[in-house]
A = this chain, B = another copy of it.
Amino acid sequence: MNSLIYAILIGVIALLYAIYLVYRVLREERGTEKMIQISEYIKEGATAYMKQQYKVILTVAAIIAVVLFILLGPRLAIAYVLGALSSTVAGFIGMYIAVNANVRTTNNAMVGGLSKALRVAFNGGAVLGFMVVGLGVLGIVALYIAFGGEPSIVSDIVGFGFGASTVALFARVGGGIYTKAADIGADLVGKVEAGIPEDDPRNPGVIADNVGDNVGDCAGMGADLFESYVGSIISAMILGAVLYKAMNWTILPVFIAGAGILASIIAALTVRVKEGGNPSTPLTLSSIIAATLTAILTLPISTSMLGFTNGFKVFIAVLAGLITGIIIGMTSDYFTNRDRLPVKKVAIMSQMGPALTILTGMSMGFLSTIIPIMAIAIAGIVAYVFGPEVYGVAMAAVGMLSITGIVVSADAYGPIVDNAAGIAEQAGLEENVRDIADRLDSAGNTMKSISKGFAIGSAALTALALLVAYIQVTGITGSLLTLLNPKVICGIFIGAALPAIFTAIVIMSVSDSAFVLIDEIRRQFREKPGILEWKETPDYGKCVSIVATHALRKLLLPGLIAIISPLLVGFILGPEALGGMLAGAIVTGLLLGLFQGNVGNTWDNAKKYIELGNLGGKGSDTHKAAVIGDTVGDPLKDSAGPSLNILIKLMTIISLVFAPLITQYYLFR
């Protein structure tokens, strides 16, 4: 129990480091007046969006908290509220610093060069990264101590994960719909109808689009990985408590997470680049450094807490998780990297027209799922066989997610440099400044691809760990949870269909919301004809709020499906069917999530490969074909795909929360 002080200490260090980085970023200069003005628009838009989103989130969370309080008692409700608040705070501060770091990155590219610009952008992203892990560890430890510090109380901490899941649902799914609706809507009216370039300040939707980048890859990804992070730790704690009924088994996951935080901070300090260097090298390397250090730190921690044999087993499980995370990231990188075969093949086939862009991309997308799925399958079996059985599976998830701090840092760097490049363009800065910004942005795209794969892979492994915890909590025996039980098979089939429904609904929500924005932009052009002649300023805020409102409304249906499906199947068909359903959903969710994330980035980079002057370059028919692929891929990679991460985790965590009620009251026995 006393050793938990160390865990608290590490959590505090993470937060202090994040605060220090906030200071480091904010003390930088913001550049010319024009740059400041553009960045203020983005900041205002982002703040407006965040306020609107979190108002809805907190309302919904309050209702759920009351329901939990009535059905499952005050502790679970308190944990829930704390989880939701932690994720909200992390997301808000992360967004705040991101929209402040973008213009400072541009300015540093102008006055300080590549090296300094990278540092500012990465520091900006790292604020979110270390807020996420710091608040995650602190919240869990605080609840554990507050509830009495006994293994038996761990089941109430699940509420913390549920709270995180609720916020993630809004931030990731609502944010995903928002970001692509704004993107497509602004493009279709601006580029196609009005004939003005991308990112042109005359387009009333342009700020909504810029805000979208931050909403998706910053707040959305942060909430997503916060959920995975706490979910994996909590599932391992539950298994430790239920299976071994001992303190050390229960709290070990927190310490592994702590090791990961220290390793991530050290890794973050290594991120530097020489002038003229490639920024994606230190960024990619930082994850590998963090993983290596975490592995090294894990062995002494686990053996001192569980004795040599069991400690070594846990070490193997954590190692399996860490390696799997790296493999998944590398696979995503391979399939979406401009210099590799898959992207080039899609670009080459685009010469035969858009149909072959789509088909070749799809086949690459399907191919890209195999290695990650196999890696997770093998990690699961290694963690079980060589680790301490099912506890090992959960510890593999903890291992994989222990480097969340550095992964989120590198990911949240993406929207900052994306915006930085946009600001450089809009402010009409010099060629060499824009070149630096573009190189930073290109590295940001690589990081976004990698972390997208990592997010879905870790979501699947976390959901699997939560599923294992759910099975232990329900106490259903193995012979009931068999493939010979038709309820289990029925559950698997139902579960397998859910990611498909979810995907369909999210894609349609994006196009519907895009049309709402299109109407608004057309209205502004019509009512303020001076906009196109630079005489009137468009109402950017109106566009932001209109898409935000619509996206959040569109979230209702998928949100309800995610929340109600496990309850329906659980209370009607019983806990075995629900177990089957979760397994089915995890499997197809992983498959479709990987497919959509990778195929979208493959198309995106095939387009960029052509834009570099290959195969006819910009404006050629090949380029047009590639643009169609890119547009198709956008909602897949940024809206529907990532929303599956949330779906599978939210459903498993709800099942875990309601497991005690389900086992008592289900209908068909």
Residues of A within 8 A of B (CB): 188, 349, 352-356, 358-360, 362-367, 369-370, 373-374, 376-378, 380-381, 384-385, 390, 393, 464, 467-468, 471, 477-490, 492-494, 496-497, 500-501, 503-505, 507-508, 510-511, 579-580, 583-584, 587-588, 590-591, 595, 628, 631-632, 635
Contact = CB atoms under 8 A, between A and B. Distances in A.
Nearest to A468: B484
B497 A471 contact: no
22 contacts: A354-B628, A356-B511, A359-B510, A363-B507, A367-B500, A369-B497, A370-B500, A376-B493, A380-B486, A380-B493, A381-B490, A385-B486, A393-B486, A478-B480, A481-B482, A481-B483, A493-B587, A496-B588, A497-B591, A500-B595, A587-B588, A588-B588
Contacts of A353: 628, 631
**Which 6 A-B pairs rank lowest in CB-CB distance, beginning with the nearest?**
A355-B631, A478-B482, A377-B493, A384-B486, A366-B504, A479-B479
Contact of A381 (B358, B363, B486): B486
A363 B508 contact: yes
A469 to B, nearest CB: 12
Nearest to A630: B355
A584 B586 CA distance: 11
A59 B501 CA distance: 44
Given A378-B490, A479-B479, A490-B380, A503 B583 contact: no
A154 to B, nearest CB: 20
Nearest to A498: B370
A632 B355 contact: yes
A494 B588 contact: no
A377 B494 contact: yes
Nearest to A579: B483
B497 A373 contact: yes
Contact of A496 (B352, B486, B587): B587
A488 B489 CA distance: 13
- Between A360, A501, A587, the greatest number of chain B beta carbons within 10 A of the residue's beta carbon is seen for A587
A501 B366 contact: yes
B363 A504 contact: yes
Contact of A471 (B385, B483, B488): B483
B393 A501 contact: no
A489 B464 CA distance: 9
Given A370-B497, A373-B496, A493-B377, A483 B587 contact: no
A481 B488 CA distance: 11
A381 to B, nearest CB: 5
A492 B467 CA distance: 15
A579 B501 CA distance: 27
A464 B628 CA distance: 39
Contacts of A479: 477-479, 482
A501 B188 contact: no
A493 B482 CA distance: 16
Contacts of A482: 478-483
Given A504-B367, A511-B349, A497 B374 contact: yes
A416 B595 CA distance: 37
